[in-house]
A and B are shown apart, each in its own frame.
Chain A
Amino acid sequence: MQQRNYKDIAYGIGLVAFGLWIFVYAATNYHLGTPAQMGPGLFPAGVGTLIGVLGAVIALTGALRNIPADDGPRLDLRATISVLSAIGVFALSVTTLGLFPAIILMVGIASLADDKLKPHKAALLALALCTFAYLVFNLGLGMPWPLWRSPF
C-alpha cells in the first residue's frame, strides 16, 4: 500500500511558498539588473527559486516514494509556548523593569513547561539565578544594566 509522508509534503509545500514569496518580493521591490551589473534583487530572487525547487522535490518525494515516515519528535505545544514566551517576557521586562524582575518572570514562566519544577523550587531557583547574575554580570563583568527599575 502506498504510504504518503504527509509531513514531508506539508514542509515541502511550505518551502515552495516561502521560496516563491522571496522571488516575488525581491523581483518586485529590488532592481534585478543584468548579469554584468547585478542589482540587489537578482541573487535573492535566484536563491528563492532554488528554495522553491528544493521544496517541490521534498514534497514530491514525500508524495510519490513509499518511504515509511519516521515519527520523529512530536510537537510539545506546552513546552514550546512556555519556553518561547519566557524569553519574550525577558525581552520585554529587562529594559522596563530591570534585570531581577526579568529573571524572576522568566523562571516563573519557564517553570510552566514541565510539572517537575514546583513553585517553591522555582522561587529558590530564581533567587539563586538573580544572585549569580548580580555577582557575575554586574559586579564581575560590569554590565551597566539596571537591576530594578520603576516602569513609570
Chain B
Amino acid sequence: MDILALFSENIGIGLATAVTPTNLLYCFFGVFLGMLVGVMPGIGAMSAISMLFPLTFYLEPTTALIMLAGIWYGTAYGDSLAAILLNVPGATSTAITCLDGYPMARQGRAGVALLMTTIASFIGGSIGIVLMMLFSPVIVRYAQQFGAAEYFMLMLLGLISASNISNASPAKSMAMAALGVALGTVGMDLYTGTNRFVFGTLELTDGIGIVGLAMGLFGVSEIISSVRDVSTSTIDRKSITFRSMIPTRDDLSRVWPPILRGSAIGSFFGALPGTGSAVATFVAYGSEKRLARQPERFGKGAIEGVVAPEAANNAADQTAFIPTMTLGIPGSATMAIMLGALLIQGISPGPTLMTRHPDVFWGLVMSFWIGNLLLLVLNVPLIGLWIRILMIPYHLLFPAILMFICIGVYSVNNSTFDIWTVVVFGGIGYLMRLGGLPAAPLILGFVLGPLMEEHFRRAMILSRGEFSTFIDRPVSLSVLLLCLLVLGWGGYRAWRGRRSASAVDILAD
C-alpha cells in the first residue's frame, strides 16, 4: 500500500517535470538527432553519443538530462537499424542483432524485423523503467549507510567486472581502465591544490576534457579506421514499405515469450555493475536458441533471434541507470559518458540526488518513457529517411562528421585546446584499436578515477591509515570478495582460452 502510494507520487513528480512543452521538444530533438547520427554507417552508438552530448550543455539541467536520454535511445536504435539492414553493427550489443536481422532483411522481411525491433525495444525498455522505479528507492535507502570504503570498493568492482566481462583480454582491458584512472588524475588535486601532470599548461588544471577525450577515442579513431573500409551498400528501398512492416500471424505468435524472457535477462545483467547490455544480448540470444523447438532456424532469419536480444538490450540499458543514478557508479562506458555530462551540468548522481532533487530524478525516469514512446512514433513514418541516410557514401559523410566533431568540441569552452585534445586522443585511440586495446574501459576508468581517489583518500583518513578498514566493514569486505571472484574468473578464462574465447561465448553456449 505504502509502496504503491509512493510509486504513484513519484510518477506524478516525474510527469510534472518531464511533460512541459520545452522538455518534450528537446526530448524529440534528442531522439531525432540520436537516430540521425546513430544510423550513419561507420558511427557506433558511443561515437554518436560523444558527438551529440555537448549540445546539451546549453540547456538547463533537467532539460539537458531529458535530451540526453533521447539521444541515448535514438543512437541505440539507429545502431540496430544499421545492423539489420547493412549487417554493420555499431556496437557489441547490436552485433547479435545482425545474426538473424540481416538474414531477415535479405529475405525481404526487413520491414517486419524493424517493426518488431521497435516493439521489443519498447517493451524491454518499459520493463526496465518499472524496475528502476521500484528498486532505486530501496538501493538509495541502503546506500545512505555506505561510507567511503564501500564506495571505493563498489567502483573497483565496476572497473574490474567491466574489464573481465568483455570480448577483449582481461589484462588489456584492465590496463586500459588503469590508464583511464591515470588520465583522470591530470589536473588540480582537490586535497592539496597541487597541479598534477599539467606540464605548465593552464588548460590542464581543470583536467582533460571528457568531450575531447571521448570524441577522439571513439569518434576520430573510428573514422580513421573506416575511411577506406566502409563501402556503401545499396538497399532496395522499395522493399521497406509500410505494408512490409505488417508481421504475419506466425511472427506474432512467436515473438511474445522471447521479448519477455529477453527483458528479464536484460534487466538482470544491466543492473550488475560493469556488465551492461552486450552480455545481456548474448545471453538472451543463447537462451532463445536453446529453448527453441527448431534451433536450426537461428542464424537464418528467426524473428526470436532479433526480438530477444533487442528487448534485452533496452532493458539492460535501462536498469544500467540504477547503479549510475542511485550510487553514482556507472557500469558501462555509455553510462560513464552520461555521468560525465551530468557532472558538467552540476548534478552529481548518488543517494542524495533522489532525496534532494526528486524532480530531476523522477523527471529523468519519466522522460525515458517518453523517449521510448517517441522512438516508436518516429521510427515508423521516418523509416524512409533513415534508409536514405544509411545510403550516403562514407567519403561524403566523414568530412561532415569531422566538422561536427570540431565545432562540437570547440563550442564547449571556446578553446582550441579542446580540439587538440581530440587530435591527440584520436591518434591514441587509433593506436589502441590497432593493438586490440579496448577504449570503453578507459572512459570508465577516466570518469571513475577521480571519484575512486577521493573515496580512497577519505577512507584512509577516517581509518587513520589502516588498510584493514576495507576488510573490517562487512559490505566493503563482501564487495572485495566479489572483486576477487570476478578477477579469478577472468584470469581462469584467459588461461583456459587458447583461442580468444570470450566470456560472452561461454555465457551464450
Contacts and interface: CB of A to CB of B under 8 A. Distances in A.
Interface of A: 7-8, 10-11, 15, 18-19, 22, 25-26, 30-31, 34-41, 43-44, 47-48, 50-51, 54-55, 57-58, 61, 66-68, 70, 72-76, 79-80, 83-84, 86-88, 90-92, 94-95, 102-103, 106-107, 110-111, 113-114, 116-117, 121-122, 125-126, 129, 133, 137, 141, 143, 145
Nearest to B231: A116
Q: Range of interface residues on chain B?
A: 35 or more
A47 B181 contact: yes
Nearest to A65: B498
B224 A117 contact: no
A111 B419 CA distance: 19
Contacts of A116: 393, 395
A11 B435 contact: yes
Contacts of B225: 73, 76, 79
Contacts of B178: 19, 47, 50-51, 54
B420 A91 contact: yes
Interface string B159-187: 00000000001011011001101100100
A35 B410 contact: no
The B contact surface, by secondary structure, is helix
Given A11-B437, A43-B185, A73-B434, A36 B403 contact: no
Given A48-B182, A54-B171, A54-B174, A25 B419 contact: no
Contact of B434 (A51, A75, A79, A102): A75
Contacts, number: 182
Given A36-B465, A68-B499, A117 B396 contact: yes
Given A31-B194, A84-B427, A91-B406, A44 B185 contact: yes
A80 B175 contact: no
Given A79-B227, A129-B399, A40 B194 contact: yes
Interface in B397-450: 398-400, 402-403, 405-407, 410-411, 414, 416, 419-420, 422-423, 426-427, 430, 433-437, 449
B51 to A, nearest CB: 13
A36 B458 CA distance: 9
A65 to B, nearest CB: 8
A80 B498 contact: no
A106 to B, nearest CB: 6
B499 A67 contact: yes
Contacts of A86: 399, 402
Interface string B481-504: 000000000000010001110000
B252 to A, nearest CB: 42
Nearest 7 pairs of A and B residues by beta carbon: A36-B465, A35-B465, A91-B419, A54-B175, A40-B189, A116-B395, A40-B194
